[in-house]
Amino acid sequence: MAKTRCGHALLRCTVAFLFLQLPPPGNGRADFQVKGPHAPVLALVGEDAELSCQLVPNISTEGMELRWYRNQSSPAVLVHRNGEDVHQEQMVEYQGRTSFVSDHVARGEATLRIHNVTLFDNGTYHCLFKEGTSSNQATLWLTVAGLGSKPRVQVVDDQGTGIQVKCTSAGWYPEPLVEWRDLRGQPVPAVTNFSLSATTGLMAVVSRVTVQNGAVQGLSCSISNPLLPERKGAEKPGTGLKTGSVLPSSEAQL
């Protein structure tokens, strides 16, 4: 069709065709899409979380308004406009706790960094990129996990029928797994209580076992976070497992 119509006026037709390919005035770039990570981002309480969004095609985000928000678009978690963070439009909960990471804006990647993550930060986010009359957004999920303190194992009292040993730890989220083992590595049945901290929303654990025949030596209590990778038997930084045990030289040798 185009060929027959343009046959006698090829030059004029080509010029018109090129003109149509230019973006419309007042809107610097053609339409774009915004993509976020497919899987939820996992962050530990007290650490930093990064929520990255990527423009498709990977054109620069410079000159765009970038907005990360939760339930409502304003006030937002962070608004970045004309190369600056707009604090007037920021939720109080995020004031002083966010940074805009501009390292890769030239290739269309914009990142919100949330510092000192709390349970409040857990949930759904949206990143909205806007330029002129064009805008698009993506949805992201932040999953917050609490890695509690090293368990403290204490011999509570000798009840005649057996010795009671207590294991305590705080700062867990969600509900952790608690496991007791004896010197030979055999599981020991326990009674465990979880309680929520009213201020942080994190869980404290109190777990008790009663052992017979003074077999407290080498008894250990391991607590792990179901969201974090764990390596059985070995406690390493960065894994979700923490273990406390009754030391051979402690008061445990009754």
Q: Which residues bind ligand NAG (CB under 6 A)?
A: 40, 58, 70-71, 106-107, 116, 118, 122-123, 141-143, 191, 193, 206, 208
Task: Report in angstroms how near the CB of residue 70 gets to ligand NAG at its nearest.
Answer: 4
CB of 4 to ligand NAG, least distance (A): 37
Shortest distance, position 224 Cβ to ligand NAG, whole Å: 18
Smallest distance from the beta carbon of 247 to ligand NAG, in angstroms? 22
Q: 12 vs 115, which CB is nearer to ligand NAG?
A: 115
CB of 179 to ligand NAG, least distance (A): 16
Considering the complex, state which of residue 59 and residue 183 has its C-beta at the smaller distance from ligand NAG. 59
If the CB atoms of residues 72 and 133 are measured against ligand NAG, the closer one turns out to be: 72
- Residue number with CB closer to ligand NAG (166 or 235): 166
For 249-252, the CB contacts below 8 A with 24+ separation are: 250/155, 251/155, 252/155, 252/165, 252/216, 252/217, 252/219
Terminal CA-CA length for the chain: 98
Nearer to ligand NAG, 126 or 242 (CB): 126
Beta bridge mates, 140? 125
Q: What does the alpha-carbon distance between residue 78 and residue 98 come to, in Å, rounded to a whole number?
A: 7
Q: Which is nearer to ligand NAG, 193 or 253 (CB)?
A: 193
Full DSSP string of the chain? -HHHHHTT-HHHHHHHHHHHHSPPTT--S---EEE--SSPEEEETTS-EEEEEEEES----TTSEEEEESSSSSSBSEEEETTEE-GGGB-GGGTTSEEEE-TTGGGTEEEEEE-S--GGG-EEEEEEEEETTEEEEEEEEEEEEB--PPPEEEEEEE-SS-EEEEEEEEEEBSPPEEEEE-TTS-B---EEEEEE-TTT-PEEEEEEEEESTTTTTT-EEEEE-TTS---TT---TTSSEEEEE--TTSTT--
Q: Which residue is nearest to ligand NAG (CB)?
A: 107
CB of 150 to ligand NAG, least distance (A): 19
Q: How far is the CB of 210 from ligand NAG (least distance, A)?
A: 10
Residue 6 or residue 40: which is nearer to ligand NAG going by CB? 40
